[in-house]
Amino acid sequence: MRVSISGSSGLIGQALIEAFTDKGWIFHSIPRNAYAQPDEEFLQKNIEGAEVVINLAGAPILKRWTDKYKKEILESRITPTRKIVTAINQAQVKPRLFISTSAIGIYDSTNSHDEGSTAFADDFLGRLCIDWESEAFHAKSCTRVVVLRTGIVLSRKGGAMKAMHRYFSIGLGGVIGKGDQSFSFIHIRDLMSLYKFILENENISGIVNAVSPNPISNSHFTKILGRVLVQPTVFRIPVRILKAKYGEAAETLIKGQNVIPKKLANNGFVFEYPTIEKTLLNLYRI
C-alpha cells in the first residue's frame, strides 16, 4: 500500500514509518519544498498513485508567538493542506483515504468535548484549527476524509515528554500554575493503532478525537509522573514565568481541554494504554 505523507520528519511521522514499513506500507515523504511546485507537478510526484494520504505538516506550536511566527504557524499548515487537497481533487485515481491532522486546541478550556462539540476556543490556536480543518474537508467529495484532533502525544522519543522528562528525572518537575487545567493525552502506540483502525474501518469519517478515554488534570499527571520516576514533584511553575518565556503561546500550557474519544468508543476501538498510569509505566518502567 502506497502512502504519501507530509511532515514525515516529526514525532508522529517517524513513528508511522517505523511501525508500518514492515507491514507493507510504502511511504512517500512529501518534501517541504514540494509545495512551491506547480499543481500538476506536485500531483504527479506526490499524490497520484497513493492509496492513502496522511497530512502532518506544521511548524511547532510551543514557541514564542511573534506576529512573524504566527504567520509561519498558519502558513505551514494551511498551504500544505490546500496543496494536497487540490491534488487529491485533480488525481485521476483518487486515494481512498485522506487523514489530516488537527489539534484539541480547537476546543475551549471550560467544557467537556466529544466530536459533536462546537464550543471552540476563541483564540489564535482555535481559529487556526478551524481554518486548517476547513481546508482538509474540501477533499470530502473525492475521498473519505478523517481529521484527527490529536491530544498531547506521549512518547520517549520526542514531543512533550522529552522536555518534561529532563526536569522530572532530577526532581525539578512540578505543577503548572494551579494544576487544575485538563490534560488530554494519548500514548504514541495507541495513536499508531488508531491510524490502522481508521484505515480498516471505512465507516469512520469526519472528526475523530485522538485522545485517551481518561483525561486528567495537570496536577494528577505531575503526581503520577513523579511517582513513576521516583522523584519529588514539590515545585510549582508560576504562570508569569511561562508567559515571560513564551508570551501568548504560554496559554497552551496554562489552559487545557477535556476531550473524550466518543467516535472511537462507538466504533469499538480498544486502547492499550487508556490511563495515565499505564501510559507512564510503559514509557518509563517497562
Q: Residue 220 falls within a domain, yes or no? A: no
Whichever domain contains 94, its CATH number is 3.40.50.720
**Which domain covers residue 37, as residue numbers?**
2-153+185-212+259-272
Residue 120 lies in a domain: yes
Q: What was the pLDDT predicted at 285? A: 82
The structure's pTM equals 0.96
CA dihedral sign of residues 188, 190, 196, 199: negative
Q: What burial class does residue 247 get, using C-beta atoms within 10 Å of its C-beta: 0-12 exposed, 13-18 middle, 19+ buried?
A: middle
Domain-located, residue 87? yes
100: in domain = yes
Considering the domain boundaries, does residue 162 fall inside one? Answer: no
Query: Does residue 105 belong to any structural domain of this protein?
Result: yes
Evaluate whether residue 54 is within a structural domain. Answer: yes
Q: List the one residue out of 19, 9, 20, 95 whose CA is nearest residue 56.
A: 9
Sign of torsion over alpha carbons 140, 57, 75, 107: positive
Averaged over successive runs of 10 residues, the pLDDT of the chain (286 residues) comes to 97 97 96 96 98 97 95 97 98 97 97 98 97 98 97 94 88 93 98 98 98 98 96 92 92 96 98 98 88
Q: Are 237 and 174 in contact (CB under 8 A)?
A: yes
Tell me, yes or no, whether 39 lies in a domain: yes
Please say whether the beta carbons of 146 and 98 come within 8 A: yes
How many structural domains is the chain composed of? 1
